[in-house]
Every structure is written in C-alpha cells, then in structure tokens.
Homo-oligomer: A and B are copies of this chain.
Amino acid sequence: MKIEEEIKQPTFKSEYHKAYINMVYTSGWLQQDQAAKFKPFGVTLQQYNVLRILRGQHPKPATISLLIERMLDKTSNASRIVDKLEAKELVTRKQCPSDRRTVDVLITEKGLELLKQMDPMEAGEGAGIRNLTEEEAEQLNALLDKIRNK
C-alpha cells in the first residue's frame, strides 16, 4: 500500500516530505513486526541488540560506554537495559578492577543459549526488507547513507 493510503493523507508538500514520513512510518512498521517475533523469547528489541553486542565481544567484557557507542539508539539508557538483562540472568555486571568507574558487562551461558535460539529470526530477516531484490537493498543502503551524510 502506498504511504498516502496507509496514513490517509492524500497529498504531501513535496516528495521530500513524503519520503520523511515514509521513512519514519516504515521503520516503525519493521520494528513492530520484529518486536512481535521476539516477544515469545521474553526480550525486547533493545535488549536483544545489547545481547548481540555482548556476544560480539565474548568472552571479553564490554563497558556501558562501549554498548552506548554501538547501540542503534545512542541516547537510550544502556544502564537500565543492562538492569533488565541482569534480572533475567542473561548478563553479569561487575566493577572493573583496573578502572573502578567502569563496569564489566558479560553475556552469560544462558544469554548465549537464548541468542542461539533466536538466530534464525535475526532482525530484518523475514521482515518486509525481503520484498526487495538484492539490488534494491543495495540502492536503499546507498540512499540511507546519503541521507545521513553530515
């Protein structure tokens, strides 16, 4: 469905304005789809993303700063997301001996096991992105990178 019908707005001020609305809407659409798939596993998208970063580091620990640096949403509150993961015993957190300001966050066996189960439904696989051809996905990546050109 075209974006005009989707949000019942027949016209846009410009192709640019439409593209902006379309981006925000489609991204929300993708994320909602993904969140629904993750729900049975008891972790949210953001918690999943943090677990993925931690697996990437494993068996080295990560600091909160490193998590923030790599998260999709930089301003989100990594401390509190780690709180939730710790409560589910998917990660451990302990003060780093060499710099006691920082905290070593490590994914647990249970966390690794959960990610393994979730791997087949990796973020983006199976969602609408697959409606594109490989070439179109490349085009999209190029357009998005250009948008963020600072």
Contact = CB atoms under 8 A, between A and B. Distances in A.
A115 B124 CA distance: 36
A72 B147 contact: no
Interface residues of A, number: 59
Kindly report how many copies of this chain are found in the complex they form together: 2
A144 interface: yes
Given A7-B72, A20-B125, A29-B147, 11 more contacts: A1-B148, A3-B145, A9-B70, A16-B132, A19-B137, A22-B144, A23-B23, A26-B148, A30-B147, A128-B148, A132-B143
Interface of A: 1-3, 6-9, 13-32, 56, 69-73, 75, 122-125, 127-132, 134, 136-141, 143-150
